[in-house]
Amino acid sequence: MLNKKAQEEGASSYRIIEARTGDHWHATAELYK
C-alpha cells in the first residue's frame, strides 16, 4: 500500500494528489521526509 511505500522511502507522511482528465484519472503521492 501507499503507506508501506512511504515508509520504504523514509517519509514520515504523504498526501495523495488526484488528477482527473475526462474518463482518465491518476493519483500520485507526494512524500514528505
Q: Which residues of 5-33 are buried (b: 16+ CB within 10 A; e: fewer)?
A: ebeeeeeeebeeeeeeeeeeeeeeeebee
CA distances to 10, 15, 18, 20 from 28, rounded to whole Å, are 17, 8, 6, 11
Nearest CA-CA partner of 32 in 14, 9, 20: 14
**pTM attached to this predicted model:** 0.21
pLDDT in tens, 1-33: 666 665 676 666 666 666 666 666 555 666 666
pLDDT of 17 reads 63
